[in-house]
Amino acid sequence: MESPQIINLPKILDKRGNLSFFEYPKQLPFEIARTYWIYDVPGGETRGSHAFMNQQEFIVALSGSFDVVLHDGEKEMRFSLNRSYYGLFIPNKYWRRMENFSTNSLALIVSDRAFDENDYIRDFNQFKTIRDER
Ligand code: TYD
């Protein structure tokens, strides 16, 4: 999977409460190596603003809402996540930021790699150069 895309997740509707899930390889294009979550984001804050050399991610708004803004080196794409039954797949080498967090929003992020600061591209100009080399 080379492009960012929304992946719809199974929804098991139940009078007792609904249930959704994802697993590799049915819904997710990679095996999960790490899970983290972002919460208690103060109003107006932005997270992210970096890209990854190798890491791929899948982001679900488990609660509340936020926007994920992706940049492919030429243009921006905005994805609003506000339901827990779909998520956004982000391939490597996409600049991303997360913003417009609602009160009490909870972002679940799964990744195909362990944490590695060396995988981060934190300079936008360097990101553009890497993109142009593709
Ligand atoms: P960072 O990825 O820069 O946050 P964001 O992109 O959401 O703004 O991570 C913030 C800090 O947390 C940074 O010092 C690295 C650390 N961190 C870990 O130690 N392990 C992890 O899995 C993640 C995602 C971050």
Q: Is 71 known to be catalytic? A: no
For residue 47, give the CATH number of its domain.
2.60.120.10
Residue nearest to atom 18 of ligand 1 (CA): 115
Sign of the CA dihedral running 77, 80, 86, 91? positive
> Given the CA of residue 98, which atom of ligand 1 is nearest to it?
7
pLDDT in tens, the chain (134 residues): 589 999 999 999 999 999 999 999 999 999 999 999 999 999 999 999 999 999 999 999 999 999 999 999 999 999 999 999 999 999 999 999 999 999 999 999 999 999 999 999 999 999 999 999 87
Domain, as residue range, for 15: 5-114+121-132
Task: Quote the CA–CA distance of 102 and 82 in Å, as a whole number.
Answer: 9
Report how many domains make up the chain.
1
**Start-to-end C-alpha separation, the chain:** 16
Give the side-chain half-sphere CA count within 13 A for 51: 21
Distance 50 CA to ligand 1 centre (A): 11
Task: Quote the CA–CA distance of 14 and 68 in Å, as a whole number.
Answer: 30
Distance 105 CA to ligand 1 centre (A): 18
Task: Quote the CA–CA distance of 111 and 125 in Å, as a whole number.
Answer: 24
